Amino acid sequence: MLEKIDFVKMHGLGNDFVIVKSENLLSSQRNLKQVAMEISNRRTGIGCDQFVVYEKIRTSYYNMTLYNIDGSFVKICGNAARCLAKLISDETGEKEFTIKSTIKDLKCRINEHTVTVNMGKVSFQEPWMPSMEKIRSVIEPFAEDLSNLICVDVANPHLVIFGIFTESNKLLVGKKLQNLEYFEDGVNVSFVTIKDNKIHVFIWERGAGPTLACGSAACASFASSLKFGLVESPSEVIFTLGNISMSEQNGDLLMTGETTFVAEGKYYHYF
């Protein structure tokens, strides 16, 4: 049987998403993991880093559900929230509202050319975080210089590495860390260098691999850079295709950046 699913594709600095209203998924609701894997495939599907399903709960309050390209569940994604916020605003005219992720309510504000999302607070002490000495011993052989590393919880797990690596070794380390017993559910890995109060980030996302940008990685990198006294607030996080502005207000992290519409249409789902 054939189901035609209306979709919108957007990206935030190259971090791309296929976004679908929950009401447009009929039989697909029974196996969203499989649908996510099919749609996100860049050869046989539409292609994206994450698949986003959303619905309106009540006035100015929306729910967002996220899937990686391997079908795994994503707790939070700042770039997806920014893209979805822009889409909702264009559809409804609302300029301020809340998007609910799995464990956080994300307050969104639509600016003239950008979208701001309050990502809330991060944590540097959680049960899932392993000893940094153990992780350092795994990473150090691949580094030209390794100055520091730290785990950050942004509702999803991040490891931020401050050091110098070749591009090929970033890929090796990112992949290697997914298979360690220390990170049972995988970990998002940010390779960070600092220059002139700007944070340059290369990101490996669990369940997706290397991506051009990641909102929660921007938060993790900014928060850890603040903690080590390497930058001041506000600061810019630099990705391959552009920047995300980060600031701290009363412990909350505010992320501001551009979003881009790519396409809209119908995806043919056979079941």
Q: Are residues 210 and 204 in contact, defined by beta-carbon separation less than 8 angstroms?
A: yes
CA-CA-CA-CA torsion sign (80, 82, 84, 86): negative
Beta strands 73-74 and 61-68 are antiparallel
Rg (CA), the chain: 18
3-state secondary structure of 247: strand
Instruction: Decide if 214 is catalytic.
Output: yes
Does 77 qualify as catalytic in the annotation?
yes
Cα–Cα distance list, 220 to 142, 160, 223, 251, 254 (Å):
22, 7, 5, 13, 12
User: Per the residue annotation, which of 48, 77, 108, 151 is the catalytic one?
Assistant: 77
Question: What phi and psi, each to the nearest 5 degrees, are found at residue 148?
Answer: -165, 165
Q: Given 48, 83, 108, 214, which residue is catalytic?
A: 214
Q: How far apart are CA 104 and CA 10, in angstroms?
A: 22
- Give Dmax over CA atoms of the chain in angstroms: 58
Q: Which residues participate in catalysis according to the annotation?
A: 77, 214
